[in-house]
Structure 1
Amino acid sequence: MDYTSHSPVLVSIKRDKMAGIRIYVEVTLAMIKPDAMEKALEIENIILQSGFTILKKRKVHLSPEECSELYAEHSGKMFFPSLTAHMSSGPIIAMMLARNKAISYWKELLGPADSMKAKETHPNSLRAIYGTDKIRNGLHGSECFNTAEKEISLMFPAAILEPFPTDLAAKDFLSKFVNPTLLTGLTELCKEKPVSNPSKINQNKCKIISGPSIHDCLWDAAVLNWLTRLGHKIYSHYTLQYIL
């Protein structure tokens, strides 16, 4: 079973036929282990309520060999045989999750790897609630971006993961497409000098519920500076990565 969620996450958009703008959202791999499968629906609801989108989902019974490849970094450790035996003991659900800072947020939601420790230090974490011990801890999450890339390629071979663009690419996008538009529009506002009485330009009685009010805007270059800073704040808040 492999399908795409209908949740509203924008993965990519095109600006026009000549140039494309791709929006990157961080992804990670999550797995519901055999010991927590009976609570799978409950866990998935928690995942969605925590701001994640399930881009891909797959229910599969892994072989011991596949488990060994998945947990290759633990090969040679004392718990490795028990881990691969447990992971291949029954079906699991693998999910490709997306959201702002997906990897770190998913790890935070999971809690410590040892469920016994999680029950003491992070009682509200998923592993504390659905796990039993270090092996039967209910769920799995990728440790870092490189690990997520490897694990997703194993569980979802058809998934295409492109490297995150740099901050320079984001600044380049803002300078090419956002700032010129703001500058043009605000220059025209300065020339036109719209009425300063908000009641005359708010005939429908619309209310501003956040951000600076119309009284605060002087329709000059300061507005451009504020909007530019706002653009950077929006970018930082949602960690959407832009590349041309």
Structure 2
Amino acid sequence: VRILTYVGLLYQDLIHTKQIERGRLPPVLPIVLYNGESRWGAAQELAALVEPGPAALEIYQPQARYLLIDEGCYRASDLPLCNLVAALFRLENSRSREEIDTVLGALVEWLRSPEQRSLSRAFALWIGRIILPKLSAEPVTGIDDLQEMRTMLADRIQEWGEEFKREGMQEGMREGMREGMREGMQAGEAQLLLRQLRRRFGELPDWVQSRLRQAPSEQLECWGERLLEVDTLDALFEGE
């Protein structure tokens, strides 16, 4: 249902901003990226959630389906180190020091050029703030160089032993990825709703932007659905 709502909001924005060519909407590929411990089991098309009715009504029912990427379904052999997505999945699913060092070595080579500095720094900070605290109970700050972080990580792991305990490593990395994905999804949803509000009501007061930044994804989704039913900002946020 959320996928259907997001696609509808996207189309609405394209129409309002006059980005439609030849009077037709573009095709959309919805993707769900999932990294939970258990395997994905939710319905992958809206029709599976709709109660069956008279056959004559079937052609009038909304259609929505998404492409599922369930990280836990991939083995290391399924993820050759050929791109950043594969590297990210390999890092999350790594079970030993050697596996992590292999992935970090590839990342260091890929992100060596100056134009990749920002992405390299993001990986280094993620490792220092998420992976290491889960392993040593103390975060590493002040290091934003991927090669330096790789060296420090190797030293730390050597001190702790030849192998990570699988359960601790898996839980730490998965929790870090879940936290990062939650924050990324919340920021994206807030930005989309902010654009919709500006198109509908014009320039927004500071308190609106502040509320959007602080609201959880569930609240943003609720406001996005109510946006089509209200005529004023006060009515949208009334009772919240």
TM-score strictly above 0.5: no
TM-score (ref. length: structure 1): 0.26
TM-score (ref. length: structure 2): 0.27
Task: Return the structure number with greater strand share.
Answer: 1
Structure with greater Cα Rg: 1
Task: Return the structure number with greater helix share.
Answer: 2
